[in-house]
Structure 1
Amino acid sequence: MTVNGNAIKACCLKVRSILEAGVEVQLARYDVCEGGAPAGAEVVKGIPLSPEETAQRDELLFLCAQRGRKALLDQAAYTWFNRIAAIHFMEVRGWLPSGVRMFTRADGSVGSQAVDEALDLQMDGLDPMCVAELKASGDDEALFRYLFLLQCEQLHDCLPDVFEPVGSAMELLLPQGLLYRDGPIMHMVSDIPEEDWTEGVEIVGWMYQYYVSERKDEVFAGFKKGKKAEREDIAPATQLFTPNWIVRYLTENSLGRLWMLNRPGSKLTDHMPYFVKPDEDHETEFKHVTTPEDITVVDPACGSGHILVYAFDLLAKIYEEEGYRARDAARLILEKNLSGMEIDPRAAAMASFALTMKARELDSRFLRRGVKPRITVLSRVEFEPEELQYIPNLSARPQLLDAVAHLDECGSLLTVTKDDMDALAGDLASLAGESTIFGGSAVEKLELMRAELEPLGRSYDAVVANPPYMGSSNMDKWLAAWVKSKYKEVCRDLCTCFIKRGMSLAKERGYEALITSDTCMYLSSFEQMRKTLIERTTIIAFIDTRGSNAHPDVFDANAGWVLWNAHSQSERGAYFKLNHPIAEKSERLLEALADPACGWFYRRDADTFKQIPGSPIAYWASDAMLGAFTNHLLADVAKPRQGLVTGDNDEFLREWWEVDNLNFFRSSPSRDSALNSGVKWFPCNKGGGYRRWYGFNDVVVNWQNDGEAIQNYIRNGRQASRPQNMEFYFKEGITWGTISSAKLSMRYSPRGSISEHAGSMIYLDKSNPLFAIVIAAMNSSAVEKLLAFLSPSLRFTEGPVGQVPIPDGISDARGISNLSEKAIATSKADYDSFETSWDFANHPLL
């Protein structure tokens, strides 16, 4: 979409502010607050209310008590924002049932064609006498308000998810001054050019993201202060509109691929620039479909529907190829092909609107056909204790009832089985004709529960999603515990939970296409997930955008998976290393598809990843690099070990020039001699920057009396220090910094030092033949390339470092030993030539 995002964002935030202020005025006008006029009042603040207004105010009082005044204000402001955006989108296309524009004149200028032509309007429910009176009075604001609400009522029949029926309580909270020059409608019409509205229905999705962007910022600011995401925070914190090129890549290589494999002669590829052609050198397996009506696509976290909208476009072309009439295709796509699930009812309403508008493009009479998109809002369903006796089958499934009571948190991550649905159906059948208060209430909740769970219990040919991103540390207590119990191997982030859930949502031999964090490609905590994917699925296509984010609003939204839900013995996946600036990623992907020799396109059988410890998605590893893992690993020959955690470095560490007793603390050969010395400070390896072979001997640690102060260091009632591997203290070896902004660099550490946790150690004496081989190998360019996939985050901890293969059967071990000795001596001489070294004697230039 080629619109001005900054202008849209500024407009949405401004309109939101104006609407919220206007709703606040209306709440005060009708005294909707704690301690205000009681329910049933016919006069409020001197204003007489009609019976209808009294009933509406009573409903507002109930909602205010139930949800809180702030939540009610937010709901009302967004309700009117949503309706204004929807009506303006429709009016610029001439799609309003009234046939006239509400917010602009026929030529697109500021004003209201409906107000101008009010006396000639043909609208269902319009009262000509009322219109005539308002027109005669010259009160254009009141006339517009009347016509606007009447237009909303008309749209309720064809867009019930967006437009509640007239008469609802929200009418009282419609702000005044809608047509003012600085009012919400004029800003939405004037601040966003009309051509942007005609670009495509995706504009309403972008508008919703920008509308909630400030709320999202508030939630993320809370995360930085240690706050957890409450259930109402999950939607705004994770609601992001997916960039168009990512949507197309995911959809074309799942839904589009399924059709192309079934119809090799199809011209659909002419409309799919991001489609990855099957590997011609290997046989391609696929699921057979007979007709486009058989294809099912779901977005389990659909937001405002961007992915579903593009899936609609592809399906429309498929139906056209198969000879269907456009109006039939519009209906069938919504009735049979597309499904969406979402925990945010506001975003779901936008998704429903967007799909209806796509159908309207194909069928000019679609709004009259009564076809509704299959967008399911996953809201919580909670049963009162008195209702449980009416649902014995479900009462025997407490875990299911608990999850359903938190369905607005776990959403489509809830897996629903046939037995679950049978239990629900059994309880419903037993309550047929039930008329008691609690029994009747149970029936209503069961009906709602069935409508929400049925789509979760189905499987689909293509599961396509940009799932929510939220780390487990930011989840509330219930959600964190639930995902840990249901998604143990992937529970560190919601997006990785969706990878596993997608495997059960997709049919056998169906597709799963998602954009997720890249960390699951290599972190050890996701090792089991990677092994499961490699063994049970086939990676068809993969985009890796590390080095620059795929999505400008998300940190680490960097891995685009397209998985075939079956294991192929012959398929080689297509991998794209898009570590280019954000603005270039789409173009670079297209270049790679046009020219596989570009340098960032790879073909790889995912089974080869199993050769590497931890099975990282190391698609760029050459055959020679993979073959290196047939050697012994470093951890097999010399286990890397983490050092001391003091619990308070400011208390227990110093630079060497800050303390006394320099002559003794440098010569402690063992823990016993250090203990008997009575000396306080001893050399400490604490990592450092990039320096190989020798150096960074700057820090000393308080290890007096065998580290008595550190070993007994208590903070907040708990031991804060973690002395570990103490039997290796003061021994000779190789040290390195575990956190680096550059490459791994290992250095010789003579006897007499203690390793701190940021300066890990491999304990090998120089006399050991392995010493020279290990330090030479670990400082080599070959290991540098291996660590690019063993530890791409530049955290060179003991785990990934221990997985580096060490060459076996070195033919010139003596030569390597001599070169290592020379490199260490040269590096030591260089380091000691500066006054920061405790072995400094004189400057080399003097």
Structure 2
Amino acid sequence: MNRSVKKMALGLKRILQREVTNEEDSLKRPKRGSRKDSLTAGEERVLLDVFLSFIVLRVLQAKGNSLTANMEGDLQLFGKSGSDSNLLGDYLSGVQFLNRNFDCCYLVDDIKSRITHQTIEKIRDLFQSVKDEDWKKEEIISWSYEYFNEDSLKRPKGGSRKDSLTASKDLKGKNGVISQFYTPKWIVDYLVENTLGKYYGENGLTAHKESSLTAGEEDGLTAGEEKGLDIEDVKIIDPACGCGNFVIGVYDKLKEMYQKRGYDDALIPKLIITKNLYGIDIDENAVEITNLLLRLKALEDGVYEKIETNIVAVPKGNNLKRPEGGSRKDSLTANEEGQNEYLKKFEKIGSLMRTEDVLSLRETASRQIKETGINDERLKKALDILSLKYDIVLTNPPYLDSSDYDFELKRYINEDYSEFKKNLYACFIKKSCELVEMDGFVGMITPQTFMFIGSYEKTRRFILENFQIERLVHFGLGGVFDNALVDTAMFVLRKSKNSLTAHKENSLKRPEGGPRKDSLKHPEGGSRKDSLTASE
């Protein structure tokens, strides 16, 4: 799927750059204006909104009218048979539908006026290069966003890697989009099955235990059963959730688990979204896509009400500054500069914010509500999420070497993660331990460097002293991410007081001459677990 999606996404972006936006665009949000009032600053944001509007509408069309039949307004999708004469009208009606029902893809009139019948015809023809069955998969939205960003972040000719970090119009700055690699579904499935599925599932992973990724019968009760956990109490977070690949994988697994326990299908989506799933990211665009995908999942499961999620972006801007015209007593703290420093730090490192700093900022936000009546709900929610403990942490963290840190990021990482500072992913290993409950599980895919290189010795020691290693899958070079040649490993860790008593490490061997994902498939004539046994 990914090759055709990449070609389509890059082609769509080129059409829109050529026919809809141009380098002179400077469409900024007016002061005190919301995103609905106009577009966010910069050409890339303008372009992204138009780009996503076409992708999301095409996904809705592929999924069929039954998905949106009971929603407010009629959805007129472009490109329907017999509607060519009103192609532009169908598209603009579709954009209004997205505004009303998904709170996304707001386009100002100036941009709408540049989209023509001919533009949409070109896009319709381009979309035919992707199979209809692939358009039915909501993750195509995530992958399209990745390819949109990849095209923006190419290294300039003759430039170094550092040059490429500032050469693009990347809205998230030097340490945002450049370090993101979205997680293939087969990786998501493996980590979800070996954390949530294995340890919190009833009688192991699924009803078809013989073909699951669980260990043998000697495991006995699952961790969830040992703790007496109710499924509604299981909390799972992705602290670098991006476009929600893990979030959607967990949603699907939890739905299966709720159904096995006899829950009413009509109640399941809301329970999962409000009680089980949590996520945070510094990329506001990616979080918007994650929430859109959850909306699509709920719709497919017959829930048409809008459900407030626990997936949030780190708020940008000085949200706790003194109100305009206010006196000193109206400000939030006696040491306003110190509190603003916490905010700057939160904006920069997001979920890597240490617990003590999260609690300090949370206290400040609470004081703001009491003293001024000003309540920044997004900030409060983000801090509340980072104040909780979780049963499972699942993530594919950013991979950013310390040589690519800018001044501010380097300062914050040195302050809080001096022993893990070599790469951001190592900092996330440390943070995951902070977020997870004792006996809870951490599932991650990262570069393999932490296993071998001397500068990661303290990271290795930290893992051995705080976790049991339940699964360790070493892929080596390439074969995981379509758009990046990265030496990778994925692992499942169980937080434990028993240091250096790790379970035996399991390895995944690649079949000779075969791609890495093939090693996750059932061998011919055998069950899936047969392919995952550790070597002698």
TM tier relative to shorter chain: 0.7 to 0.9
1:312-327 aligned at under 5 Å gives the runs 312-327=251-266
1:212 is the counterpart of 2:209: no
Match of 1:152 among 87, 92, 95: 95
The alignment's TM-score, normalised by the length of structure 1, stands at: 0.55
SS in 2 for 1:307: helix
2:344 to 376, 389, 405: 405
| Matched residue SS, 1:102 | coil
Give the Cα–Cα distance (whole angstroms) in 1 for the partners of residues 513 and 341 of structure 2: 42
Cross-structure match for 1:371? 307
1:251 CA displacement: 1.0
User: Where does 1:203-282 land on structure 2 (aligned, <5 Å)?
Assistant: 203-218=140-155, 223-224=160-161, 231-260=172-201, 263-264=202-203, 268=206, 270=208, 275-277=213-215, 280=218
Map of 1:386-785 to 2, 5 A cutoff? 389=328, 396=335, 401-417=340-356, 418-432=359-373, 443=374, 446-568=376-498, 572-578=503-509, 584-590=515-521, 594=527, 601-602=534-535
Query: Could you report, residue by residue, the CA deviation over 1:378-409 in whole angstroms, capped at 9, with x for unpaired residues?
Result: 13232687569457665648666324225443
SS in 1 for 2:59: helix
Identify the residue that residue 36 of structure 2 maps to in structure 1.
none
- The Cα of 1:267 is off from its aligned counterpart by 6.4
Pair 1:397–1:568, CA change in 2 (3 A):
farther
Moved more, 383-392 or 570-579: 383-392
- Secondary structure at 1:349's aligned position in 2? helix
- Aligned match of 2:49 in 79, 83, 88? 79
SS of equivalent residue, structure 2 residue 154:
helix
In the alignment, which residue of structure 2 is the partner of 1:343? 282
Cα contact 2:188–2:246 (8 A) shared by 1:
yes
What one-letter code is carried by the residue in structure 2 that aligns with 1:176? R
Shift of the alpha carbon at 1:587?
A: 2.5
Query: Are residues 1:170 and 2:140 paired?
Result: no
Cα distance in 2, alignment partners of residues 567 and 582 from structure 1: 41
Kindly provide the amino acid, as one letter, of the partner of residue 295 in structure 2.
Answer: T
Distance apart, 1:214 and its partner CA: 1.3
**Equivalent pairs, count:** 513
CA separation of 1:532 and 1:104: change in aligned 2, threshold 3 A: same
Deviations 1:382-441 (A, max 9, x none): 268756945766564866632422544312111344444233212321113xxxxxxxxx
Task: Report the structure number with the largest CA radius of gyration.
Answer: 1
Distance 1:393 1:220 in 2: 48
Corresponding position of 1:7: 4
- Take 2:205 and 2:518, find their aligned partners in 1: how far apart are those partners? 22
What is the DSSP-based 3-state SS (H/G/I as helix, E as strand, rest coil) of the residue aligned with 2:278?
strand
The separation in 2 between residues aligned to 1:59 and 1:526, in whole angstroms, is: 44
1:229-250 deviation digits (Å, cap 9, x = unpaired): 6852433212322111111111
Selected match of 2:241 from 282, 296, 302: 302
Alignment match, 1:704 = none
Looking at structure 2, the residues matched to 163 and 580 of structure 1 have their Cα atoms a distance apart, in angstroms, of 44
Q: 1:451 to 1:70 in 2, by over 3 A?
A: closer
SS across alignment from 2:441: strand
Q: Secondary structure at the match of 1:545?
A: strand
CA deviations on 1:563-590 (whole Å, 9 max, x unpaired) are 1122347662442154667952222244
Give 1:23 shift: 3.3
Unpaired runs of 5+ in structure 1?
A: 34-56, 64-68, 117-139, 433-442, 604-846
Aligned-pair CA distance for 1:520: 0.6
Distance 1:208 1:291 in 2: 36
Aligned counterpart in structure 2 of residue 382 of structure 1, from 308, 318, 321 = 318
Q: 1:557 offset after TM fit, Å?
A: 4.3
Secondary structure at 1:376 match in 2 = strand
Shift of 1:301: 1.1
State whether residues 215 and 236 of structure 1, in contact with CA within 8 Å, keep that contact through their aligned partners in structure 2: no
Residue 361 of structure 1 aligns with which residue?
300
**Whole-angstrom distance in 1 between the partners of 2:209 and 2:336:** 48
Change (3 A) 1:328 1:597: closer
* Residue type of the alignment partner of 1:192: V
Distance (Å, rounded) in 2 between the aligned partners of 1:574 and 1:516: 17
Aligned with 1:104 (options 75, 79, 92): 79
Once the two structures are superposed, residues 624-651 of structure 1 have per-residue CA deviations (whole angstroms, 9 ceiling, x without a partner) of: xxxxxxxxxxxxxxxxxxxxxxxxxxxx
Distance 1:582 1:391 in 2: 68
Other structure's SS at 1:482 match: helix
Q: 1:158 to 1:312 in 2, by over 3 A?
A: same
Counterpart pick for 2:18 among 11, 21, 35? 21
Which structure carries more relative contact order (alpha carbon 8 Å, separation 6+)?
Answer: 2
SS across alignment from 2:476: coil
For the Cα contact (< 8 Å) 1:511–1:562, is it kept in 2?
yes
Instruction: Give unpaired runs (5+ residues) of structure 2.
Output: 34-38
Task: State the AA in 2 paired with 1:370.
Answer: K
Q: Distance in 2 between matches of 1:384 and 1:336?
A: 28
Counterpart of 2:77, as a letter, is M
CA distance in structure 2 between the aligned counterparts of 1:564 and 1:77, rounded to whole angstroms: 43
Q: CA deviation at 1:333?
A: 0.8
Structure 2 vs 1, CA of residues 426 and 174 (structure 1 numbering), >3 Å: closer, same or farther?
same
Please give the per-residue CA displacement for 1:573-608, whole angstroms capped at 9, x wherever unaligned: 4421546679522222446995888797258xxxxx
When residues 197 and 356 of structure 1 are mapped into structure 2, their CA distance, relative to the original with a 3 A threshold, is: same
TM-score (norm: length of structure 2): 0.84
- Contact kept, 8 Å, 1:548 with 1:579, in 2: the verdict is no
AA partner of residue 245 (structure 2) = H
Change (3 A) 1:458 1:181: same
In 1, Cα distance between equivalents of 2:471 and 2:158: 35
Inter-partner Cα distance in structure 2 for 1:591 and 1:302: 29
- Assess if the C-alpha contact under 8 Å between 1:219 and 1:233 holds in 2: no
Counterpart CA distance in 1 for 2:334 and 2:513 is: 51
Query: 281-290 or 516-525, which moves further after superposition?
Result: 281-290
User: Hey, what's the Cα distance between the residues in 2 that align with 1:321 and 1:384?
Assistant: 46
The CA deviation at 1:307 is 1.0
